[in-house]
Structure 1
């Protein structure tokens, strides 16, 4: 084991033995549904699992639609309230991802405020005193240019980027250095930097390029771009103008984004090693936690070249599948047992996760197929069993499996060089069957995905049920059903007792699944600050969680931690949206229904200590206008200054006049009216005690119960039992 890895594991084991398992978080704003962000998070989660530490995803996804709340960034910033000790031991940041929404000065101020919390940044914004993990742009552009110049012999280049960020400008600088290195002239009007990444801007840029250069005369042989988004749009615009990539001109990208894969011609690009960077970020963060005073540094990550068709090549897997197999190696001098061992050794290099006994079975299957010629291929049966280990065959796994077939075909075929043609063709046929089997498994998975509408139907039904929930208890029961439907096996819910503009002073309302007896005592546990959330609730097992802050417009209800079973946080956003809307419905909409239970004049008069007092019509304050005001503001705290200002009198005059007219103080009268309305609401069976607490503006349920008992002699629950 690597010495550094051993050091980290020894430190982490020591912390764990003290009952202080390390917990790290991740924060940033991005399209966390894209495979770039997913690979980042997958790398972090894999490293957290390998090092046996806790991981909490505090990232936020860029708005999914125009209808998302315009206060998106404000909601996200609430996550920073968790980013302190003792809740987190360290944080991976993607500070530059906030630049689209927040200016750099505010970003730096926000992250600097988190110090001395150990941090590692994976973006391109320098945070003073924080180690940064960056890609090596220069070597990345070098790889592209080396391939285009040395493999394809191109010498006439153009460059298309966007003047939107520093990485684009750095790639342009590296490109110009490469031209000089190869002694190539920068052709006049061959560098184009679009004003933005929009389709219109890129379309106009390609139009200018085509006006400046005659592609059919090969004035330009290859276009180097700064991202796959630009490369894909360049290919699209070239095709619209009647040009074929790569036949008429080559195009390369950068970043290895989804756009490059789905372009009309798949884009040769640079893989920025998102998974690797996510993994390395965790390792660097552990190092920083171990040695908090170590100097900050910039760590450069080497990238890799991804060959696709836009440069004029075929993908590596296609090239390998057609690669000529070397049949010159002489195996006649070794015994069959030695040959078997040699084959096992070679196959273990391909099947890195397989046990040796399983690979030995594959070798036995090969020899059975060659010499026994069974009715059903033993190799095909072995491969079928191997495929069943994969829960998903689609996308990247399918390509990986095709490469596996190519790999062990290249190992087995040379062994057959002395066999007759019929045997060789029969074994080749088995390899073709394996490739077909991969295609069939992929097709089955595609068909299985058609079941998703049924899952969506269930989620939709739960959404309707949640929106119809009458109280918090119903919401929690329906939430449990939703979690079960989405196969999420752990959740921890904390809610405010009143609607607020922050997420302080919450109580734990749900631990899912049903906790052990000692943890049940934590229910209703009050948390004054988010970073004080008791990690003991998560129990002793290692966890990966997603944090979602629950809100509707400017009202915050609390937050929920959800087990991260899926990389795509859209799943968790579904729960956030459904739960937030349900809480809004119960707390806000239901609170609005309190007006259905306003007190009648006769009911108010019964509350007064003085009956039929003498009133002057000239007085600014009368019983009617005073009680009308208090009724209108029944959910507000009693504020003498505000009431006095409303009636344009002094505070002392307000108090004196109220006592004179009603026999009560302003505070006492308002309180009596609240409790009288609370009785009517409770008797309706449409409001829980908690609902009434929120609707009538009491600070919390305990305070409401105390005030209710002071006025009635009974707690709300006992009072209801007697009715």
Structure 2
């Protein structure tokens, strides 16, 4: 049972008084520019602020940089070395975020092994020993279907989702359940589950299939299409539009997630808001409860979601539906009982309250624009032009506030739309679209502001300049001096840097070599001391007698490691910290190489004789091709250079600028083996060398050779050698 806020704060205050302020961590993988991960982190950081506890972000960010590491997952796995007491008292985990990189069984084991550390997971997977905070998908779909059935009286439904997503499969199950509960039949051919990612071409194919199976005009055969994601819904609406099918007049379309696409869709989406911020906040509260009461049984809490009603289902939003009621800011009665002049004066007063920084002349122009849009219906909305000018003028003197403008639009709609209560529905929907365009314009302005802030030319140029300074650094002191300056420029309050004496494939045993600001006199004795295990890192370096939030970054160059850094978090733009990590790592590599601090792994590198013994060329047509000059040497060289990666036929074909089929055929001719088999055998030969060196545990060999997990590596090794790695070692020691 959840504790009261007062009970949590009393426990945390006692810990703080004893000098053991609670510290929690977060781990998960996501495109951290995307709002989901950022909303989770915002919610967690707000909860940590409110409860006065520390926060360490160990999340990994992917797909936001041109400099993404090919073998990203192996670097990310190093973060798990930090996820123990005393560095953290508990972890909020997002296990499902690893689904793209690992099999579910391996993910569950990975996160389950964090026990007995208190953990709370915010994904959809069941993690042994972890309390779980899941969305209530059943009530979410129920509220969506109830609205469509009870408010709109829809009876004929279709569903579009992707079969590779477990949450989307669950949404399909809940959809089918709601059909049954409401006495409705699933129409044959009305469910389309893509066996692909949510990419535009696959979504288009799914909606093409629906449009081929059914007449989607005027709700003849389908009333509404339920989609498992706003991304699917928004792209689907575009595809329907290309076919001349209008949403919602021909067919309603609804989404799920309340993503950016829900507001910017051609028809703003009725959707389910998964309240990521609230869930991040609640996950911290649940974790505090678990830390306070470790013997409490594992809980699974289902978090309620919000139904967001917009235009795509056929609804008018609240400000429209309230037209003519006392709840509207200007009642219908007052509209009809007063003269046009009195009405206009009242509108000016109310509009002035909405836009207090606009002149009377500007407000008058807005009202003229409104009536012109309603009755003249020009190609370009005058009201939208007015609003655009208002925002541009606002940005000249103030920091742009998207929430302010979104609220202003809602209030303005509530003021103006009741005037149209006697007009035909088409006029109301026409004005709805204009207000929707206003909302989209705010979103675009906000996006530009975000990009301008993130990619400020001065800041980017400054980072470029610092990159040059980093690369010109001749020693560690020069690197540290550059780092001090760059942290100040990027408004990052501080950093603690742990570096090893040399760079190697194994995760290092580093020493604390640098702090910014400089370590206090009390901490000077800890400088240059080794940290035997990452989770034993002395938290005193973060403390400074106050609560802290820090970002962990593991420092590496290719597949070799220097150490790690904890950056004090001010911005939640995770890309900022990763850019610094990349620049710092490249500079360290240059200095370490110059000073001979890199441990080259020549003792286990493949020898030419090992490669040659694998080659059994076909007797037919083994001459190299003059056009591509694809030779045994080039193919094996490429595969040897990419032993850390899984075999990607398309990527290899692209490298040699040949087709996939040609590559496969040529590999057989040149080596007697398929590309996949050749790559696998080269990996096993490398594994033998690494086993002989006795420097690497099986888990690290598996990771360094691009296998999904240690068990899979062992199975492949035995398939190729007839022995398990351990037994092979016994026979070859």
Deviations 1:607-640 (A, max 9, x none): xxxxxxxxxxxxxxxxxxxxxxxxxxx978999x
Query: C-alpha separation between the residues in 2 aligned to 1:288 and 1:484?
Result: 38
Q: Is the 8 A contact 1:504 1:528 kept in 2?
A: no
Partner residue of 2:533 out of 529, 535, 557: 529
Per the TM alignment, residue 215 of structure 1 is displaced from its structure 2 partner at its CA by 1.3
Query: C-alpha separation between the residues in 1 aligned to 2:469 and 2:140?
Result: 52
Per the TM alignment, residue 66 of structure 1 is displaced from its structure 2 partner at its CA by 6.7
Per the TM alignment, residue 490 of structure 1 is displaced from its structure 2 partner at its CA by 1.6
Which moved further from structure 2: 65-74 or 570-579? 65-74
Which moved further from structure 2: 181-190 or 561-570? 181-190
Aligned match of 2:213:
212
Per the TM alignment, residue 184 of structure 1 is displaced from its structure 2 partner at its CA by 2.4
Q: Match of 2:32, SS?
A: coil
Does 1:201 pair with 2:202?
A: yes
Which moved further from structure 2: 301-310 or 59-68? 59-68
Inter-CA distance 397–288: structure 2 relative to 1 (3 Å threshold): farther
Per the TM alignment, residue 242 of structure 1 is displaced from its structure 2 partner at its CA by 2.2
Partner residue of 2:584 out of 571, 579, 586: 579
Q: How does 1:252-291 map to 2 (within 5 A)?
A: 252-291=254-293
Deviations 1:389-419 (A, max 9, x none): x985344453245557889x89xx9xxxxxx
Query: C-alpha separation between the residues in 1 aligned to 2:275 and 2:165?
Result: 20
Aligned match of 1:300:
302
Q: Match of 2:202, SS?
A: helix
Which moved further from structure 2: 72-81 or 523-532? 523-532
Q: Is the 8 A contact 1:159 1:224 kept in 2?
A: yes
Does 1:493 pair with 2:522?
A: no
Partner residue of 1:509 out of 509, 513, 529: 513
Which moved further from structure 2: 442-451 or 279-288? 442-451
Aligned match of 2:81:
81
Which moved further from structure 2: 213-222 or 573-582? 213-222
Query: C-alpha separation between the residues in 2 aligned to 1:443 and 1:318?
Result: 28
Inter-CA distance 269–442: structure 2 relative to 1 (3 Å threshold): closer
Deviations 1:421-443 (A, max 9, x none): xxxxxxxxxxxxxx9xx999979
Deviations 1:502-530 (A, max 9, x none): 44421112211133322233321221111
Task: Report the TM-score when normalising by structure 2.
Answer: 0.66
Q: Match of 1:495, SS?
A: strand
Per the TM alignment, residue 305 of structure 1 is displaced from its structure 2 partner at its CA by 1.0
Per the TM alignment, residue 222 of structure 1 is displaced from its structure 2 partner at its CA by 1.1
Query: C-alpha separation between the residues in 2 aligned to 1:397 and 1:328?
Result: 26
Q: Is the 8 A contact 2:504 2:599 kept in 1?
A: no
Per the TM alignment, residue 193 of structure 1 is displaced from its structure 2 partner at its CA by 0.8
Per the TM alignment, residue 50 of structure 1 is displaced from its structure 2 partner at its CA by 0.4
Per the TM alignment, residue 64 of structure 1 is displaced from its structure 2 partner at its CA by 2.8
Query: C-alpha separation between the residues in 2 aligned to 1:312 and 1:280?
Result: 34
Does 1:540 pair with 2:541?
A: no
Aligned match of 2:473:
469
Per the TM alignment, residue 489 of structure 1 is displaced from its structure 2 partner at its CA by 0.8
Which moved further from structure 2: 449-458 or 40-49? 449-458
Q: Match of 1:526, SS?
A: coil
Does 1:457 pair with 2:464?
A: no
Per the TM alignment, residue 455 of structure 1 is displaced from its structure 2 partner at its CA by 1.6
Per the TM alignment, residue 188 of structure 1 is displaced from its structure 2 partner at its CA by 2.0
Q: Is the 8 A contact 2:319 2:328 kept in 1?
A: no
Q: Match of 1:184, SS?
A: coil
Per the TM alignment, residue 151 of structure 1 is displaced from its structure 2 partner at its CA by 2.4
Query: C-alpha separation between the residues in 2 aligned to 1:576 and 1:474?
Result: 16
Aligned match of 1:134:
134
Q: Match of 1:510, SS?
A: strand
Q: Is the 8 A contact 1:503 1:559 kept in 2?
A: no
Query: C-alpha separation between the residues in 1 aligned to 2:398 and 2:24?
Result: 28
Per the TM alignment, residue 486 of structure 1 is displaced from its structure 2 partner at its CA by 0.7
Inter-CA distance 397–82: structure 2 relative to 1 (3 Å threshold): farther
Query: C-alpha separation between the residues in 1 aligned to 2:361 and 2:202?
Result: 62
The higher radius of gyration belongs to 1
Aligned match of 1:161:
161
Q: How does 1:314-713 map to 2 (within 5 A)?
A: 314-316=316-318, 324-325=328-329, 393-400=400-407, 402-403=409-410, 449=453, 452-538=456-542, 539-588=544-593, 590-591=594-595
> Unaligned regions of 5+ residues in structure 1, if any?
330-362, 378-383, 414-434, 595-633, 640-723
Query: C-alpha separation between the residues in 2 aligned to 1:4 and 1:110?
Result: 32
Aligned match of 1:339:
none
Which moved further from structure 2: 503-512 or 531-540? 503-512
Inter-CA distance 293–68: structure 2 relative to 1 (3 Å threshold): same
Per the TM alignment, residue 214 of structure 1 is displaced from its structure 2 partner at its CA by 0.8
Task: Report the TM-score when normalising by structure 1.
Answer: 0.67
Deviations 1:545-603 (A, max 9, x none): 11111111111111111122122211111111111111112213x257x9xxxxxxxxx
Query: C-alpha separation between the residues in 1 aligned to 2:450 and 2:124?
Result: 38
Inter-CA distance 447–41: structure 2 relative to 1 (3 Å threshold): closer
Q: Is the 8 A contact 1:321 1:406 kept in 2?
A: no
Count of aligned pairs: 528
Per the TM alignment, residue 8 of structure 1 is displaced from its structure 2 partner at its CA by 0.4
Q: Is the 8 A contact 1:320 1:406 kept in 2?
A: no
Deviations 1:673-723 (A, max 9, x none): xxxxxxxxxxxxxxxxxxxxxxxxxxxxxxxxxxxxxxxxxxxxxxxxxxx
Aligned match of 2:20:
20
Query: C-alpha separation between the residues in 1 aligned to 2:588 and 2:448?
Result: 40
Aligned match of 1:620:
none
Query: C-alpha separation between the residues in 1 aligned to 2:565 and 2:288?
Result: 26
Per the TM alignment, residue 496 of structure 1 is displaced from its structure 2 partner at its CA by 1.0
Per the TM alignment, residue 203 of structure 1 is displaced from its structure 2 partner at its CA by 2.1
Per the TM alignment, residue 317 of structure 1 is displaced from its structure 2 partner at its CA by 6.2
Aligned match of 2:224:
222
Q: Match of 2:515, SS?
A: strand
Q: Match of 2:566, SS?
A: strand
Task: Let me know the Cα RMSD of the aligned residues.
Answer: 3.8
Q: Match of 1:64, SS?
A: coil
Aligned match of 2:173:
173
Q: Is the 8 A contact 2:497 2:513 kept in 1?
A: yes
Query: C-alpha separation between the residues in 1 aligned to 2:506 and 2:490?
Result: 28
Q: Match of 2:565, SS?
A: strand
Which moved further from structure 2: 185-194 or 118-127? 185-194
Q: Is the 8 A contact 1:394 1:445 kept in 2?
A: no
Inter-CA distance 532–450: structure 2 relative to 1 (3 Å threshold): closer
Deviations 1:153-174 (A, max 9, x none): 3222111111112211211111
